[in-house]
Amino acid sequence: MKPVLIRQHEEMTPPGLLVEWLEDRGISYEVNYSYKDGSIPDPSDYSFVASLGSPYGPNDTHEPGVLAELELVGAAVEKDVPVLGLCFGGEVLSAVLGGRVERAPVPELGWREIETDDPGAIPSGPWLEWHYERFTTPPGAVEVARTADAVQAFRLGPHLGVQFHPESTVEIVADWAGADTENLAKLGIGDGRDLLAIPPEREEAAREAAFRLFDAFLAEAATHRSENSAGAAGGKE
């Protein structure tokens, strides 16, 4: 199996539980720091691409890193390399597939339960969220989960985009909350870290839910790859 490509877009947005899951499953991976290196890897060298969070959105095309991610995810889709888009990564995937990314009427900050049509693959949470924009479900994709305020997950072929952060821990998001004081003050929130309080057993349940989501994504990607291989073999003369 080829390694997994993880695209990290900021020092404060590490892959967290995604790396824990990859190491637990014995899957090799590479973390590519888009904010340090302007080069764009070839997605066909990897089994799948995971695109993490970012302080920017896909509409911020004045940022070279955003343009690079749109190009990379677009190339992955074109080459049929599965993409796992997490928050910003999900927004980029939506944009590449013809969806829209827009200002969310209500920022989703802290723990949120979601309504899911496939709880085995996309558990209801609670999940950690920290975003002020939202994506729409792209044409041809299947919306899998939502809240009253935003689409939370969609699938198209082997690709999965989610608006929440299954890869993040409370410690990671607490750093975001600590740096987001200006936006929080406008919302009348004094300390965003108060939004992250949760009993340890619920935090462990979120970790287990993240592992189930990653397992389901990998299984779907493997099924897609197997079907494509069988179709290609059947078409040979």
Residue with tokens 């729409």: 136
Residue 119 pLDDT more than 50? yes
Establish whether 167 is a catalytic residue: yes
How far is 126 from 110, CA to CA, in rounded Å?
Answer: 9
How far is 44 from 179, CA to CA, in rounded Å?
Answer: 36
Q: Identify the CA nearest to 136 among candidates 81, 164, 86, 97.
A: 97
Q: Evaluate the omega torsion of the peptide bond into residue 43 and state whether it is cis, within 30 degrees of 0.
A: no
- List the CATH code of the domain at 4-221: 3.40.50.880
Q: How much is the pLDDT for 228?
A: 74
Annotated catalytic residue: which of 9, 131, 159, 165? 165
Percent helix, strand, coil in the chain, to 5, is 40, 25, 40
How far is 97 from 74, CA to CA, in rounded Å?
Answer: 8
When the pLDDT of each residue in the chain is averaged and rounded to a whole number, the result is: 94
C-alpha pair distances (Å), 48 with each of 73, 123, 128? 11, 21, 23
User: How many CB atoms within 10 Å of residue 236?
Assistant: 5
Which of 202-206, 210-214, 233-237 shows the lowest mean pLDDT across its residues? 233-237
Q: How much is the pLDDT for 229?
A: 67
Q: What is the mean pLDDT of residues 116-129?
A: 96
- Residue 190 burial (10 A CB sphere; 0-12, 13-18, 19+): exposed
Establish whether 165 is a catalytic residue: yes
Annotated catalytic residue: which of 69, 108, 129, 167? 167
pLDDT bin (cut points 50, 70, 90) of residue 233 is low
pLDDT bin (cut points 50, 70, 90) of residue 237 is very low
Annotated catalytic residue: which of 9, 69, 87, 91? 87
* % residues pLDDT > 70 (the chain): 96
SS3 assignment, position 103 = strand
